[in-house]
Amino acid sequence: MKSTNIRVEQPIGAPHLSIRLSSTARGARLARRLAGQQLAAWRIPYDSETSRAVALVTAELAANAATHGRTPGRDFRLTLLHLPERGVVRVEVTDTRPGRLPRDPAAGPAAPDAPSGRGLLLVAAYAERWGCEVRDAYTKTVWAEVVLPK
């Protein structure tokens, strides 16, 4: 497992995208599309391995927020940080269910007939590291860092 609890402050002037999206399947799909477009704006080719990895990680974290972190009437926040000095793109998804933390995929696989429980395995496979932070009594942020090409 690559999960850690390292809080990263956004460097002043760091290229980023931060947007609130509806906690719905549509919001999760939009998060994935916005991630690909933002990476292209940062000159990370849309069809590159990095772009595909960030899109997949974003889609999974956003889907989890819309499915498991949803509070009726509340949005989730997608934040992308381009951190070339650290060699990563950081994906953060903040939802309004701090009491519902993600299940650690290293704890074992989901039951074969379970309808969910495999997405964080993908996040762990594509991200250099990932984790979860409860920053206040109202939100939690699940984040992942994808390595930039050299």
* 43 domain residue, yes or no: yes
* 107 domain residue, yes or no: no
Q: Which domain holds residue 88?
A: 16-102+120-147
Collapsing DSSP to helix, strand or coil, 61 comes out as helix
| Averaged pLDDT score across all residues of the chain | 85
pLDDT tens, 69-122? 777 778 999 999 999 999 999 999 999 888 777 777 666 666 666 555 567 888
* 137 domain residue, yes or no: yes
* 112 domain residue, yes or no: no
**pLDDT at residue number 1:** 41
* 96 domain residue, yes or no: yes
Number of domains in the chain: 1
**pLDDT at residue number 146:** 98
**pLDDT at residue number 149:** 84
Which string of DSSP letters, residue by residue, matches 79-148?
Answer: EEEEETTTTEEEEEEEES-TTSPPPPGGG-PPPTT-SS--HHHHHHHHSSEEEEE--SSS-EEEEEEEEP
* 1 domain residue, yes or no: no
pLDDT tens, 43-80? 999 899 999 999 999 999 999 999 877 777 789 999 99
Q: How confident is the model at residue 6 (pLDDT cuts 50, 70, 90)?
A: very low
* 8 domain residue, yes or no: no
CATH of the domain at 126: 3.30.565.10
pLDDT tens, 119-150? 788 899 999 999 999 989 999 999 999 999 87
Q: How confident is the model at residue 5 (pLDDT cuts 50, 70, 90)?
A: very low
